[in-house]
Structure formats: C-alpha cells, structure tokens
C-alpha cells in the first residue's frame, strides 16, 4: 500500500467554526507533513512530525493545530480561520533520513474554503 489518504476531499467552513482534516498512511513512514498550497504555487511546508513528535513548525498561526495520534494518522485542527486560509491542504509522508529512500508521498489534498 503506497497511498496517503486524506479526508474530507472538500470542506467549507465559516470563520467561527472548528473543523479537522485527517490524513492516514500505512507505509510505515515515521515522518509526516502538512503543506498548504495556493493556486499556481508550490506546496508550502507547515508542519513536520518525526516519530509522532512535532519537529518543525514553520511559524504557522495558532489557529492551525496539528496532532499525530499514532504512526499512521495525522490531523490538522482548524479554528477561527480567515478567508485567506482558503487553499489546498496536502498531507505527505516519508521515511526518516538514514532509513532509506527520501521520496515523499503526497495525499490528494483537502480543498478548504473559508467563508
């Protein structure tokens, strides 16, 4: 199984709502990532988890709260978002440095619209 799955596929939320994005992989990868992608731009790194611990936070506003409950799951909790947060949110996973191939596997993304 070389797939990263993400739910939901689409999400529309108001600025006062609380919602969560979910990501799952069963490739045994111990590094998981959240990216934000705006139209016609490359993915922009938000968070990195290594061995289920947050290792990188790219100065992301606290209205985005990541969580890694176990080695297969990654969540992104959303609260009090702004319209400019509307984007495609991508999850990815990979082996850790030294474990082998450094290929990142991306999920299909969640298209988020904040009204």
Partner 1 sequence: GENVEQHPSTLSVQEGDSAVIKCTYSDSASNYFPWYKQELGKGPQLIIDIRSNVGEKKDQRIAVTLNKTAKHFSLHITETQPEDSAVYFCAASEGGSYIPTFGRGTSLIVHP
Write out the residues near partner 1 by the rule CB under 8 A. Answer: 4, 6, 31, 33, 40-43, 45, 48, 56, 90, 92, 94-97, 102-109, 111
Instruction: Please state the three-class secondary structure of 10-33 as a single string.
Output: EEEECCCCEEEEEEEECCCCCEEE
Q: Report, in Å, the least distance between residue 17 CB and partner 1.
A: 23
Spell 35-61 as b/e; 16+ CB within 10 A means b.
bbbeeeeebebbbbbeeeeeeeeeebe
Count the neighbouring beta carbons within 10 Å of the beta carbon of residue 2. 8
Minimum gap (Å) between residue 39 Cβ and partner 1:
10
Least distance from C-beta 96 to partner 1, angstroms? Answer: 7
Closest CB to partner 1 among residues 80, 95: 95
Q: CB of residue 20 vs partner 1: minimum separation in angstroms?
A: 19
Spatial contact of 59 and 47, defined as CB atoms under 8 Å apart? no
Q: Which is nearer to partner 1, 17 or 50 (CB)?
A: 50
Q: Which residue, 6 or 81, has its beta carbon nearer to partner 1?
A: 6
């Amino acid at each position: 199984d070389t797939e990263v799955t993400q739910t939901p596929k689409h999400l529309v939320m108001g600025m006062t709502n609380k919602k969560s994005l979910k990501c799952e992989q069963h490739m045994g990868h111990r590094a998981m990532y959240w990216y934000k992608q705006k139209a016609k731009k490359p993915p922009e790194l938000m968070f990195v988890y290594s061995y289920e611990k947050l290792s990188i936070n790219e100065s992301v506003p606290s209205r985005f709260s990541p969580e890694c409950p176990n080695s297969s799951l990654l969540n992104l909790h959303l609260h009090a978002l702004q319209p400019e947060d509307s984007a495609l949110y991508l999850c990815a996973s990979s082996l850790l440095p030294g474990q082998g191939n450094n290929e990142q596997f991306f999920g299909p993304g969640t298209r988020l619209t904040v009204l």
